[in-house]
Amino acid sequence: MCVTCGCASDGTQFFALTPRPVESGRRVLAVERSLLAENDRQASVNRQAFDARRITAFNLLSSPGSGKTTLLVNSVTALSERCPVVVIEGDQQTDRDAQRIRATGVPAVQINTGKGCHLDAQMVNRALAELALVDDGVVFIENVGNLVCPAEFDLGEHAKVVILSVTEGDDKPLKYENMFHAADVVVLNKVDLLPYVAFDVALCRQYIARINPRAEILLVSATRGDGIAEWLRWIEQRRNANIATPREVAAPAQRT
């Protein structure tokens, strides 16, 4: 993850304390573990805050340009008629995506990560303080566009949504196995472009099933509207299941 690619979220502090990876692989691994353990602790705090209000949180992950924001823009309006919805937008720069969400009438907070290429649980915690959360609602967290390190960072969400545009190629599940392994659902987006690109849906399904048999797969065109009803149904199902889940206050997950 980011310790090795140099994009640690708390960049300045981190580089001051850590030797270069080539100097000590074991030391880097230890720092990586403690960074992730601290993230897991904060993610658990976030999850408890959600659970105390029966809020269901979704972490949206993909490469840049897969259509995450368009999918949200074209679904939060319908969803917000059924339940309270808020959005946290993660990007390195600009608040363009948050503005697009706010234009629908749904509250949104933008996190700019600067050089950081993922959201972490602490950032989400700070963003949550800016939002008026409502019981039984839904929180969407749009992660920074990146199929690598965001897979490692639990944000306290109840489900990970991985979006893959058909323009990216059907072999991406094989190339970014960690990301697809973590997915609760994979949204194959931009299916309206299938006639124009070399993307074998059946083959992609096989790859995903091989890596992660439990992942559901939805075929969607966020711009044309295909599959949006199924996507909203999936969200409602997850939300209903989450609301019905009896709560115990869970201890933070331990990394070994």
Q: Which residue has the tokens 């489900």?
A: 159
Q: Which residues from 3-42 bind Zn ion, rule CB under 5 A?
A: 7
Q: Which residue has the tokens 């840049």?
A: 64
CA distance 67 to 163: 8
Site mask for Mg ion (CB under 5 A), range 63-82, x = bound: -----xx-------------
- By a kind-dependent CB cut-off of 5 to 8 A, residue 220 interacts, out of Mg ion, Zn ion, none, with none
Is residue 120 at the binding interface for Mg ion, with CB under 5 A as the rule? no
| Binding footprint of Zn ion, residue count (CB under 5 A) | 5
Q: Other C-beta atoms within 10 Å of 104: how many?
A: 18
Work out which of 98, 106, 109, 149 binds Zn ion, going by CB under 5 A: 149
* CB of residue 32 to Zn ion, shortest distance in Å: 12
Work out which of 31, 87, 117, 215 binds Zn ion, going by CB under 5 A: 117
Is residue 121 at the binding interface for Zn ion, with CB under 5 A as the rule? no
Q: Which residues from 94-113 bind Mg ion, rule CB under 5 A?
A: 97
* CB of residue 98 to Mg ion, shortest distance in Å: 9
Q: Which two tokens stand for residue 117?
A: 């290429």
In contact, 115 and 137? CB cutoff 8 Å: no
Is residue 32 at the binding interface for Mg ion, with CB under 5 A as the rule? no
* CB of residue 144 to Zn ion, shortest distance in Å: 7
Q: Which residues bind Mg ion (CB under 5 A)?
A: 68-69, 97
The residues that touch Zn ion, with contacts defined as CB under 5 A, are 2, 7, 117-118, 149
